Structure 1
Amino acid sequence: METPWRPLRHFVLKVHSRCDLACDHCYIYEHADQSWRGRPLVMAPETVRAAAGRIAQHAARHGLAQVGVVLHGGEPLLLGPRRLRALLTELHGTITGVCGLDLRMQTNAVRLDAALCELLLEFGVRVGVSLDGGRAENDRHRRYRNGATSHPQTLRGLALLRQPRFRPLYAGLLCTIDAANDPIAVYQALLAEEPPRIDLLLPHATWDTPPPQPVGPWLRTFHDRWAADDRPVPVRLFDSIRSLGLGGPSQSEAVGVDTGDVVVIETDGAWEEPDSMKTTGPAGGATGLTVFDASADDVTGLPAMRRRRAGLAALSATCRACELVRQCGGGLTAHRHRAGSGFDNPSVYCDDLKELIIAINEHPGPVAGDLGALPADAFDGLGYGYGDADAVALLADAELAVNRALVGEVAGETAAGGHLLAELERQAPEIFDEVLRHPFVRSWAVSCLDGGRDCDPDWAAAIAAAVAVRAGLPVEVPVRAHGGRIHLPTVGFFAAPAAEVTVSAAPGSFTLRWPGGRASVAGDAGARGWHAARWVTVDGVRILLEDADPYRDRLQHAATGHLDATAAGGWSSALRGAWEALSVDAPDQIGGLRQGLRAIVPLAPAPDGTLRSATSRHAFGALGIARTDPAELAVLLVHEFQHTKLGAVLDLIDLVPDDAGGDRLKVGWRPDPRPVEAALQGAYAHLAVADVWRRRADRDGGDQSRKLFRTYRDWTGEAIGALRTGDRLTPAGKRFVGRMADTVGSWAA
């Protein structure tokens, strides 16, 4: 199985191997793997030093902007203040000189006091607390070894975290689900602790040790109450499922295809897979490597870690055939385990996850701010940097409505052709819409309404003739020549021998007449001077190779002239190759491209050989590109399609306030500061490009791919940070850029 390269970004440090509670559902002490019994109580200073060095080495080698380190156990607070300070000092001193450090701790909080909070505040350690609900629910499992409750002590620690001084430490609550508990009572008890986030943990189980009862009804009840309350706090499992359904990132290893970027370092320095693997059997998750004899790169090359990065290919045939697989991702790896078949099974929680995913998909999120004609799901999906076929279809329909309005305004003022449009629309509405979707119909209309010097108001007749020809309607339309040609959008052009040519349409053919001559065109049988529009079919998608439209010159770079057959064939081949590359390097963009890509305008190549591409705000779905090899062409397609999508969003929704016109932002990809909207456009395009290079780096592990990924990722992240400062965005703009930040954060965390 070919698996991608991917660096490790999350490191769990088992700083203490014992716990002051005896939770009977704990996967460390109560499940199949009992290796904790032979490990040191605490992580020794030399082990901390070696672990920190390996993490820093890995971050430097792969240019990581940030790594996450979670202090775990056992119970990490058993270290005590002195050893905890020494450990945090070592981690900070070694890692922060190389990259950013996101430090967290998972604790039961029974030992948390003000002095420890001050220490954690000093080092910026965010704290997650394990709590299963109110006292009755929590006491079902989380007790001291003598059976006494731990609930009051945990609440005392949480009260500290809610204090204004220590609130920045509070990362959230982790609740292990027990279907015997009342989900509403658990929901209310968790909410009472005012957490910034809730994590719901499925109790670890396998097909050999299945859960005692289904948890799907419990999850759905919890979710429905949470949704009815307008989602008062993020719930990572629910938010991840919804994000994945919109093409965004997962925030949890419990759902979505496992990225394989989490690794554990035990108190003795052993590298291990995530702790959930301990439930699969003795030595579950063991690698045989330690920080003293192996680097993090050595760990990523192990078969077990490669399996975690294999994506859909690592899932069972049952999972791959499921329509929900991209949201579920097969569930947690450990939950697929069965003796005899290993991990080649659906999750033991398959039915429960299906029930939850369907519930989430049936509950669209609340709308924050004015999202115009876009549903919240479509808006968020586009904000993540993608947008599925349905979302882009909404954009395309909205742009069609704009085109119709503009054409109606121009044609209503002209005599030639304008009077026909309403009748043609009535007789052939689908063909009428197809012609008006042509990107440069809007370019023409905007030019006329803006008083453009090259505007030909009579081009409305050419639009009418194009509809009549494509629909085979028996109509005659006089069309005036423009630059020595008549051009029928989406149909073709004719080297006109006269100032005016009458187009006579009929089913399956049409005739061109002028004083002293005529020419007939039927099917593929052309006439002298007639050049049919060039269409390329790629994976069932018809794309116009637009080399003739007189209004295609609204792009930043010059278009080529009419292509000969050899050049057109070269473009066809290049586009097919690029589409194949996109299916691997940008699979989440394919659905949108299928709905929104209308035309490719071949551009004249740059004299210095650099790549060249462009779009116009007034030509939705048209991408100008100078031909290059398929791999580079794929990147340019994604880059420019981002611009055309965002332009359509901006037509519908104000993301940037009107008074931001004079503001300028410094961006990494240009030497000159950019207006806010231009910075947003650039960040949105570069987000998608970074994703392409991320996938290529995952696949080939090449230094150049990694370098390009890091460059585009950093440009995008820095621009997002600048955009989110001050009042540079409207509420909808903040939401949109927040979704972009979620995607970039899922790469860099």
Structure 2
Amino acid sequence: MEKIKTFFLRVAARCNLDCNYCYVFKHRDMSWKNYPPTMSKEHVVLFSHRLKEYVMETKLKEVYIIYHGGEPLFIGESVLLEYTDIILKALDGIVSVEFSLQTNGTLLTDKFLEECDRRKIKISLSIDGPEDIHNKNRKMANGDGSFNLVFSGIQKVQKYPHLFQGAIGVIDPYSNPEQLMEFYNQTQIFNVDLLLPDANYESPPKYREAAPYIYKNWLIESFDAWFDKYQDLSLRTYENVLKRLLDCNTSTDSFGFGKLDYLTIEVDGSYHTTDILKVAFENASAMGISLENATINQAATHKKVEEYNMLLAKENLPQKCKSCDVGYVCGGGALPHRYSEINSFDNPTIYCNEMRSLINHAKKRLNDEVENELLL
């Protein structure tokens, strides 16, 4: 049995931003409207008991807890710290616990970060690039751009480099890739996960109908900028492409293969697989069980987890992917991006052409680099 070590706690089902592409609030799953705005203390206490029980059963040495939203700090910084202390107290002396917070950064304060430092809570933020790029899609609820508040939050976190895990950015295909790399480089955001906007066959990628090659061209141009000039930046997607081309094991939600190695606890205490499935259909990630009526072990071995892992398995790749020359790299692509109402997840990623072009381009660049090294 695969042991689950990572747990996403969705402590808030609301947000102070109104991002155009948000997979929680702007896609096909509107179940957030039925959830309480924030996770209750009772559910956190119950989670800590369930986790203690699971750790003692499985003899885990470490666990990872990631606060998610909405915006996790919507719950209030004092409440989030209280919840952290509840979990730490329950697991004290039993297992090593590492906390992370995925935040938009707008509500971060110096006082809160001091408390995070005491508890070793690591911080990841979301920023799409310089002000004009970022503000295009990541607006405050009142319609104002969020860049200034977000960047102020990043500067606060950067005072604690041992806590700063880096940033997530969503690709705007009309942005200038080299300008984007230079922004991350100049602002010393050296660890970045650049993501394609969530899409699938029922919700195709924005802009692509009018400009069929826009994402493909952007990916290749940005890969070249990174490969030639900005390899000091850790860009997870491009690094993972190269690792898979070199036959190195790597696990990422951006590609297929691997296994689901985490669980999500929704704001109402219900167990879910990966919440990114919200882009597919209503309650796609829901298991139908909760902290009240099921153990973590029951969730970890639930049929929804088995089904998810089966879809990621190499032998269950869509037929088109099995015969593809780069199928061994992308593994069919991110599972939520494979969904259609007709075939469910039995499709290549909606970004198939883009990923195939990127991987073949990266392969050529890698081969050219090796040949040049051999000639020296």
Q: Is the structural similarity TM-score above 0.5? A: yes
Contact 2:157–2:163 (Cα < 8 Å) also in 1: yes
The aligned residue for residue 237 of structure 2 is 237
Contact 1:230–1:366 (Cα < 8 Å) also in 2: no
Task: Give the Å deviation of 1:348.
Answer: 0.5
The aligned residue for residue 172 of structure 2 is 178
| Among 4, 10, 14, the residue aligned to 2:10 | 14
The aligned residue for residue 211 of structure 2 is none
Q: Pick closer, same or farther for the CA change 1:59–1:253 going to 2, 3 Å.
A: farther
Amino acid paired to 2:178: I
The aligned residue for residue 317 of structure 2 is 315
Asked if residue 351 in structure 1 is aligned to residue 347 in structure 2, the reply is: no
Alpha-carbon distance between aligned partners in 2 of 1:53 and 1:252, rounded to the nearest angstrom: 29
Task: State the 4+ residue runs in structure 1 displaced beyond 6 angstroms.
Answer: none
Among the aligned pairs, what percent are the same residue?
A: 25
Alpha-carbon distance between aligned partners in 1 of 2:196 and 2:56, rounded to the nearest angstrom: 35
Q: Pick closer, same or farther for the CA change 1:126–1:362 going to 2, 3 Å.
A: farther
Q: Pick closer, same or farther for the CA change 1:32–1:256 going to 2, 3 Å.
A: closer
Contact 1:66–1:101 (Cα < 8 Å) also in 2: yes
The aligned residue for residue 53 of structure 2 is 57
Task: Give the Å deviation of 1:256.
Answer: 4.1
Unaligned runs of 5+ in 2: 209-213, 372-376
Amino acid paired to 1:292: E
Q: Pick closer, same or farther for the CA change 1:365–1:131 going to 2, 3 Å.
A: farther
Amino acid paired to 1:88: T
Deviations 1:218-237 (A, max 9, x none): 12211111111150121111
Asked if residue 154 in structure 1 is aligned to residue 156 in structure 2, the reply is: no
Contact 2:251–2:257 (Cα < 8 Å) also in 1: no
Deviations 1:371-421 (A, max 9, x none): xxxx69xxxxxxxxxxxxxxxxxxxxxxxxxxxxxxxxxxxxxxxxxxxxx
Alpha-carbon distance between aligned partners in 1 of 2:117 and 2:128, rounded to the nearest angstrom: 25
Alpha-carbon distance between aligned partners in 1 of 2:18 and 2:59, rounded to the nearest angstrom: 41
Unaligned runs of 5+ in 1: 368-374, 377-749
| Among 163, 169, 184, the residue aligned to 2:163 | 169
| Among 82, 86, 91, the residue aligned to 2:82 | 86
Alpha-carbon distance between aligned partners in 2 of 1:15 and 1:344, rounded to the nearest angstrom: 32
Amino acid paired to 2:19: C
Amino acid paired to 1:129: L
Q: Pick closer, same or farther for the CA change 1:67–1:241 going to 2, 3 Å.
A: farther
Amino acid paired to 2:232: P
The aligned residue for residue 223 of structure 2 is 223
Contact 1:241–1:255 (Cα < 8 Å) also in 2: no
Task: Give the Å deviation of 1:215.
Answer: 1.8
Task: Give the Å deviation of 1:238.
Answer: 1.2
Task: Give the Å deviation of 1:307.
Answer: 2.3
Matches within 5 A, 1:16-35: 16-35=12-31
Deviations 1:99-120 (A, max 9, x none): 3223111111011111111111
Amino acid paired to 2:179: A
Matches within 5 A, 1:382-401: none
Amino acid paired to 1:35: S
Q: Pick closer, same or farther for the CA change 1:90–1:218 going to 2, 3 Å.
A: same
Task: Give the Å deviation of 1:323.
Answer: 2.9
Q: Pick closer, same or farther for the CA change 1:350–1:97 going to 2, 3 Å.
A: farther
Task: Give the Å deviation of 1:135.
Answer: 0.9
Question: How many pairs were matched up?
Answer: 365
Structure-1-length-normalised TM-score: 0.47
Amino acid paired to 1:167: P
The aligned residue for residue 297 of structure 1 is 297
Aligned partner of residue 340 in structure 1, secondary structure: coil
Amino acid paired to 1:211: P
Matches within 5 A, 1:494-643: none
The aligned residue for residue 272 of structure 1 is 272
The aligned residue for residue 43 of structure 1 is 39
The aligned residue for residue 108 of structure 1 is 104
Task: Give the Å deviation of 1:96.
Answer: 5.0
Amino acid paired to 2:262: V
Alpha-carbon distance between aligned partners in 1 of 2:365 and 2:170, rounded to the nearest angstrom: 24
Asked if residue 257 in structure 1 is aligned to residue 227 in structure 2, the reply is: no
Contact 2:181–2:230 (Cα < 8 Å) also in 1: no
Q: Pick closer, same or farther for the CA change 1:47–1:103 going to 2, 3 Å.
A: same
Structure-2-length-normalised TM-score: 0.91
| Among 116, 128, 133, the residue aligned to 1:137 | 133
Contact 2:64–2:99 (Cα < 8 Å) also in 1: yes
Task: Give the Å deviation of 1:145.
Answer: 1.8
The aligned residue for residue 196 of structure 2 is 202
CA RMSD for the aligned pairs?
Answer: 2.2
Higher radius of gyration, 1 or 2: 1
Aligned partner of residue 198 in structure 1, secondary structure: strand
Matches within 5 A, 1:324-363: 324-363=326-365
Alpha-carbon distance between aligned partners in 2 of 1:365 and 1:161, rounded to the nearest angstrom: 39
